[in-house]
Amino acid sequence: MQASTLTLEVRVSNMVAQNLYLKYGFQPVGTRKRYYTDNNEDALIMFTDPIQSLGYQTLLKELRQQLFHRLRDQVHQAGITAHVSSC
């Protein structure tokens, strides 16, 4: 799609989501007043740096590696638990 950056809106009260987005390189750049119609809550607007930049690509690579290692460790731990349970 040839996008150069990513953007999103998130509820200003949703700190869990904001922290996740920060982890993935999004930065707050502004707000949209009364963006959500269910309760008129403001939205925080977040953007990334250029997604093809070396910095952003390095961040994604590091996050993928962390996820791979975490999942591998969980599978390994589950395998040990299953083996011990079957004995």
Which are the catalytic amino acids?
9, 21
Quick one: three-class SS letters along 3-44? CCCCEEEEECCCHHHHHHHHHCCCEEEEEECCCCCCCCCCEE
Identify the H or E element spanning 59. Answer: helix 54-86
Q: Name residue, tokens 């975490």.
A: 70
